[in-house]
Amino acid sequence: MTRRIVICSSYLPYDAPDPPPNRDLEDLVNFCKPKSWDLLVGCDSNSQHSVWGSSDVNPRGESLLECLMTTEL
């Protein structure tokens, strides 16, 4: 059986009008998920949350954490 893995790098600017994830990243998740392809994302999200060791939590971090949990990334 062949295993497909998609690897991407993403930068989410701190001054973006919308919280993370951006539309491109959402589209990539939605592309990979129904095909059962693994997705590995390296990302500078400019998001802070204690879950990944930050001493602060900001709205961007809360939004990104919610996305990670609901998409099972």
pLDDT tens profile 12-25: 999 998 889 999 99
Does this model's pTM top 0.85? My answer is: no
For residue 48, the model assigns a pLDDT of 95
What number of CA atoms fall less than 13 Å from residue 42's CA on the CB side? 3
d(CA 54, CA 61): 10
Average pLDDT over residues 31-60: 95
Tally the residues of the chain: 73
**pLDDT of 1 above 90:** no
